[in-house]
A and B are shown apart, each in its own frame.
Chain A
Amino acid sequence: MSGKRGWPVGEALHEVSLTVNGVVRQARVPARRLLSDFLRHDLGLTGTHVGCEHGVCGCCTVLLDGAPVRSCLTFAVTVAGQEITTVEGLAGPDGEPSPVQRAFAECHALQCGFCTPGFLCTVTALLRDNPEPDELHIVEGISGNLCRCTGYQNIVKAVGRAAELAREGGEGTA
């Protein structure tokens, strides 16, 4: 038997409020609601993709207070009150793609695009922490994200290119 919004009757719901891409968003969910499903189903932000739901593929990576984390291995209640950035929040206020997004397009770093939101979030944080990574740092940095299409070469190139674009663009664009 199901009750409120399809949750089993009797399951306690929690009011969870998060700042997502700069906007305060809330929903009533059980404690077992994964952050990935909270974003996708409760908030309708389907840019965050879900592949494996056990931490291996990296598709669901989002930024939590700026640091990349697996949204499939985080309960939404745990991070109530914190700030989340999803792929939908990476572009500039006018919709201008970020340097990382531009570099991925320029270097053909995506084919089907399923893995791309996770890569974009991971790489955005990587370049913020290390604006001039060498190839070893790039490969280590993206080692937790799987891509079944590209063969990774163009993704590695795109990270280097994004670092260049961010430098050309000056402050605050990465």
Chain B
Amino acid sequence: MKPPPFDYHAPHDLDEALAVLAGTGGDGKVLAGGQSLIPLMNMRLAAPAHLVDINRLAGLATVEAGADGVRVGALARHAEVERSERVAQVQPLLRSALGHVAHPVIRNRGTVVGSLAHADPSAELPAVLAVLGGSVRVARHGAPPRDVPAGEFFLGPLEPALAPGELAVSAFFPAVPPRTGTAFVEVARRHGDYAMAGVAAVVTLDDDQRIAAALVACVSAGPVPVVLDLTAACGRRPAASTDWAAVAAEVRDRVDPDGDIHATAGYRRHLTGVLARRALRIAAAEAAGEYGWTDER
């Protein structure tokens, strides 16, 4: 349970980090919070030849919440983003999802961008980025940074759209539009574990409080976050008269989770339907301004 040797690089600014990373060829990995990478190295499931430690790049420890959304720099820790009242106002889905990411102590060290770059389909934040239609800003040595939309960033399990030598410098989570509510719900075997199933939902109402748009992203339901547009399934009706059983059935039909020792594929499928219904109802209530609304199951 000890990590294998590697060459250690501790750049002091972004340009230096990109140059060093470019110089490591395909054998370099970025070290952010280390809360996913170091366990993998301790278990010898990962053995990068070079680690480029970005913990001294203070310029990347930023959390900027503006009217259009939240931009989180690569060194912003989960805990910092979770604590920010401004972030919670601009995009409340971040705080509700972050409460499910590991334990508070892990969140003191792990980063939001690291979690996206890790691209675990059981992780909460990739689903949040996907359901909001956010993006990841990617930089490389000697080229201008590019913004990769969430839909193109997650390619497969632990497979982000990052080429060797590329560093994710920030992620952008768009703000909630007017008359819109969000929710994140999940079921895990123990508090702080990765979810057996989870759903992030965004619901927008029209002027007559009818559901105008309903989107979910499902966690642990496929190789990447599974985004489903359920607007048609909800029908243009108020939440109270929506056929939720039909919505849940559609979710069950459209996801294709794997089974493992913790839950069969069928159970995960069922759970995803139940959670989608629950998340959509909470989001619809929030959109209608009914804060503190709880699901009557």
- Contact yes or no, A32 B4, CB < 8 A: yes
Closest A-chain residue to B79, C-beta based?
A67
A20 within 8 A of B: no
- Contact yes or no, B34 A73, CB < 8 A: yes
CA distance A113 to B183 in the complex (A): 40
B31 within 8 A of A: yes
- In the assembled complex, the CB of B29 is this many whole angstroms from the nearest CB of chain A, namely 13
Question: Which interface residue of A53, A58, A73 has the most chain B CB atoms within 10 A?
Answer: A73
B12 within 8 A of A: no
B105 neighbours in A (Cβ, 8 Å): 58, 61, 68-70, 122, 144
- Identify which of residues 28-44 in chain B touch chain A, using a CB-to-CB cut-off of 8 Å: 31, 34-35, 38-39, 41-43
B5 neighbours in A (Cβ, 8 Å): 8, 11, 30-32
CA distance A12 to B5 in the complex (A): 9
If over half of A's interface residues share one DSSP class (helix, strand or loop), that class is named, otherwise mixed; here it is mixed
- In the assembled complex, the CB of A122 is this many whole angstroms from the nearest CB of chain B, namely 6
A141 within 8 A of B: yes
- Contact yes or no, B191 A143, CB < 8 A: yes
* Chain B contacts to A: CB under 8 angstroms: 1-8, 10, 31, 34-35, 38-39, 41-43, 51, 53, 55, 79, 102-106, 108-109, 191-192
Known contacts A31-B6, A70-B106; 12 further A-B pairs (Cβ under 8 A): A12-B7, A32-B6, A34-B2, A54-B1, A54-B43, A55-B39, A67-B79, A73-B42, A77-B8, A79-B55, A143-B104, A143-B192
Q: Identify the 9 closest CB pairs spanning chains A and B, nearest first.
A: A144-B103, A31-B8, A54-B39, A53-B1, A32-B3, A73-B38, A67-B108, A68-B105, A143-B191
* Chain A contacts to B: CB under 8 angstroms: 8, 11-12, 14, 30-32, 34, 37, 53-55, 58, 61, 64, 67-70, 72-75, 77-79, 122, 140-141, 143-144
